[in-house]
């Protein structure tokens, strides 16, 4: 059988630095676990724009469709702020999500014990936290038509975006949330704004329909997204799986991320329908951005990107035990006090560079054998 294939799109800013550490981990699996991946690399975002004038070429798009999993670093930077909207780095990422139809975005927020004091919330609120936000990723206000900036014919302008969801778009992401819940705490909380938005009413009704007809064994609750944001910082451990739309999911997942102390810790998986080989269409990326302010200085935290690769092991390659091995290696180096700059709290620790953090995780992987 052919080796599983991975396309690396390191992107901009700290993307290439954190991805360099992931490549070491991928190499380790080949050398030490007999798991060889066919790795190829290409450009996305500003780096693709610099080379080709577009944030994602058709050729790269086709390669992404053909591999088993895409690993993405980060896109964007101040250099590209003034570009026309249609060629902004972010459009490359949005095109990948849309054309690969990656409708289910898994954003775990887990608090590592060694970092519990690092959260802006009190230790007992976050210690042991393990929640999963499932964000719809291919529809809603990010893609709805009509959209644009138009003349209002009275000398002013009007900006329009459209929140639009269909029955099937809601049902398929709801299903992925219920499936995940069954393998975790068996609880789903769905968030929308059914009090002000018709699309929110539909969302609530369809999630309830999927529950009643297909997953009656899973506990389901509904919450308005604003109340959900409040509950997330008040007592996040009340949640297991949260399912929500594209825009609310964008906001709520940043909020949940910060509970854990650092954006530099959080991975994500974006999954679509199964391909011919049974594996889901999949893209893995850290939740953090390109952090242009620290790019190129060896300060970036590679853990979110490394944990994204761990999610690839689990969700694309059915290697849950190997994913756990990576997660435990990360836990070990944190417990040992190793800290990249973003993790340097008042309690101190051993300051390490991006690559030293990667090397320490490799050493912990060696020790796990």
What residue 333 binds from Mg ion, ligand IPM, none (CB within 5 to 8 A, per partner kind)? none
d(CA 220, CA 186): 9
> How far apart are CB 93 and ligand IPM at their closest, in Å?
6
Q: Are 42 and 63 in contact (CB under 8 A)?
A: yes
d(CA 320, CA 25): 16
250 has catalytic annotation: yes
> How far apart are CB 252 and Mg ion at their closest, in Å?
10
| Interface segment toward ligand IPM; rule CB under 6 A; list 90-98, 225-233, 259-267, 361-369 | 90-98
Under rule CB under 6 A, residue 9 binds ligand IPM: no
Under rule CB under 5 A, residue 240 binds Mg ion: no
Measuring CA to CA, how many Å separate 294 from each of 6, 240, 298?
27, 34, 8
| Interface segment toward ligand IPM; rule CB under 6 A; list 6-14, 88-96, 119-127, 175-183 | 88-96
The residue within the footprint of Mg ion, chosen from 68, 250, 285, 342 (CB under 5 A), is 250
Catalytic one of 250, 299, 332, 342: 250
Nearer to ligand IPM, 10 or 93 (CB): 93
Nearer to ligand IPM, 102 or 174 (CB): 102
Q: Are 240 and 134 in contact (CB under 8 A)?
A: no
d(CA 12, CA 152): 37
Nearer to ligand IPM, 60 or 290 (CB): 290
142 has catalytic annotation: yes
> How far apart are CB 250 and ligand IPM at their closest, in Å?
5
Chain-centroid distance of CA 231 in Å reads 21
193 has catalytic annotation: yes
Nearer to Mg ion, 136 or 250 (CB): 250
Residues 6 or more apart whose Cβ sits within 8 Å of residue 63: 7, 40, 42
DSSP-derived 3-state class of residue 71: strand
Pairing relation of β-strands 267-274 and 104-110? antiparallel
d(CA 257, CA 169): 25
Under rule CB under 6 A, residue 169 binds ligand IPM: no
Under rule CB under 5 A, residue 206 binds Mg ion: no
Read out DSSP for 265-331? G-EEEEEEEE-TTSPEEEEEEESS---TTTTTTT----HHHHHHHHHHHHHTS--HHHHHHHHHHHH
DSSP-derived 3-state class of residue 185: coil
DSSP state of 128: T
DSSP state of 342: G
Measuring CA to CA, how many Å separate 110 from each of 122, 247, 340, 361?
15, 21, 18, 18
Nearer to ligand IPM, 94 or 127 (CB): 94
293 has catalytic annotation: no
- Enumerate residues 284-323 that contact ligand IPM by CB under 6 A: none
By beta carbon distance, the residue nearest ligand IPM is 90
Under rule CB under 6 A, residue 136 binds ligand IPM: no
> How far apart are CB 290 and ligand IPM at their closest, in Å?
9
Q: Are 41 and 76 in contact (CB under 8 A)?
A: no
Under rule CB under 5 A, residue 136 binds Mg ion: no
> How many residues line the site for Mg ion (CB under 5 A)?
1
Question: Which x/- pattern, by CB under 6 A, does the window 92-111 give for ligand IPM?
Answer: -xx-----------------
d(CA 127, CA 129): 5
What residue 93 binds from ligand IPM, Mg ion, none (CB within 5 to 8 A, per partner kind)? ligand IPM
> How many residues line the site for ligand IPM (CB under 6 A)?
4
Catalytic one of 12, 68, 88, 142: 142
- In b/e form, how buried is each residue of 291-306, taking b as 16+ CB within 10 angstroms? bbebbeeebbbbbbbb
Under rule CB under 5 A, residue 327 binds Mg ion: no
58 has catalytic annotation: no
> How far apart are CB 250 and Mg ion at their closest, in Å?
4
Binding site residues, ligand IPM, CB under 6 A = 90, 93-94, 250
Binding site residues, Mg ion, CB under 5 A = 250
Residue numbers annotated as active site: 142, 193, 226, 250, 254
């Amino acid at each position: 059988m052919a080796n599983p294939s991975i396309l690396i799109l390191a992107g901009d800013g700290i993307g290439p630095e954190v991805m360099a550490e992931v490549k070491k981990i991928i190499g380790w699996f080949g050398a030490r676990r007999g798991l060889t991946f066919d790795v190829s690399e290409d450009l996305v975002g500003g780096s693709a724009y610099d080379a080709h004038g577009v944030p994602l070429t058709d050729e790269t798009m086709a390669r992404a469709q053909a591999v088993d999993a895409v690993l993405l670093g980060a896109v964007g930077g101040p250099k590209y702020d003034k570009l026309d909207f249609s060629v902004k780095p972010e459009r490359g990422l949005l095109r990948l999500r849309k054309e690969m139809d990656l409708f289910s975005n898994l954003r775990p927020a887990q608090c590592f014990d060694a970092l519990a004091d690092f959260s802006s919330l009190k230790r007992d609120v976050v210690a042991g936290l393990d929640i999963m936000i499932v964000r719809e990723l291919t529809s809603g206000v990010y893609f709805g038509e009509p959209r644009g900036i138009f003349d209002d014919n009275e000398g002013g302008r009007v900006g329009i975006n459209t929140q639009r969801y269909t029955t099937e778009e809601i049902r398929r992401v709801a299903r992925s949330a219920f499936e995940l819940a069954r393998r975790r705490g068996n609880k789903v909380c769905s968030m929308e704004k059914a009090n002000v938005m018709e699309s929110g009413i539909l969302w609530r009704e369809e999630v309830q329909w999927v529950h009643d007809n297909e997953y009656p064994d899973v506990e389901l609750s509904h919450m308005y997204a604003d109340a959900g944001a409040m509950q997330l910082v008040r007592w996040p451990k009340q949640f297991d799986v949260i399912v929500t739309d594209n825009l609310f999911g964008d906001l709520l997942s940043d909020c949940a991320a910060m509970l854990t102390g650092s954006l530099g810790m959080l991975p994500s998986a974006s999954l679509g329908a199964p391909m011919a080989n049974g594996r889901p269409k999949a893209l893995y990326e850290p939740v953090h951005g390109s952090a242009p302010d620290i790019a190129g200085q060896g300060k970036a935290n590679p853990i979110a990107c490394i944990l994204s690769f761990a999610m690839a092991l689990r969700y694309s390659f059915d290697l849950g035990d190997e994913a756990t091995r990576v997660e435990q290696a990360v836990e070990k180096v944190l417990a040992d006090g190793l800290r990249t700059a973003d993790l340097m709290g008042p309690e101190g620790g051993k300051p390490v560079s991006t690559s030293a953090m990667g090397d320490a995780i490799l050493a912990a992987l060696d020790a796990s054998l």
